[in-house]
Amino acid sequence: NAGVTQTPKFQVLKTGQSMTLQCAQDMNHEYMSWYRQDPGMGLRLIHYSVGAGITDQGEVPNGYNVSRSTTEDFPLRLLSAAPSQTSVYFCASTLANEQFFGPGTRLTVL
């Protein structure tokens, strides 16, 4: 049981490039979410999903897209990276009101 996994651990992008942050969980949790963590701002919700085929926006969704084709996977896409998206990104899955976090992806946009 690997829990919540995220890839890559680190990524450097140039402004305007696109990429996908991967998130997978093997606990069969319906609810998954993406957060970004910035110094002094805690974790802010980007997008979340309550099950396969269902996604919704969180607090800071602009510049990010998500999809949920399977229960296991919840990728986060940056279509045109901007320096303001430099952050640490965490994926989480939820069961019985308790969240389980992945190890994070540290993204730098130059």
Partner 1 sequence: AQSVTQPDIHITVSEGASLELRCNYSYGATPYLFWYVQSPGQGLQLLLKYFSGDTLVQGIKGFEAEFKRSQSSFNLRKPSVHWSDAAEYFCAVHLTSGTYKYIFGTGTRLKVLA
Asked if residue 85 binds partner 1 (CB under 8 A), the reply is: no
Asked if residue 5 binds partner 1 (CB under 8 A), the reply is: no
Residue 63 burial (CB < 10 Å; 0-12/13-18/19+)? middle
Asked if residue 31 binds partner 1 (CB under 8 A), the reply is: yes
Smaller CB separation from partner 1, 9 or 14: 9
CA 58, 100, 66, 78 torsion-angle sign: positive
Rounded to 10 degrees, the C-alpha dihedral 16/11/63/104 comes to 180
Least Å from the CB of residue 99 to partner 1: 7
Instruction: Kindly state the number of chain residues that form the binding site for partner 1, as judged by CB under 8 A.
Output: 21
Smaller CB separation from partner 1, 73 or 101: 101
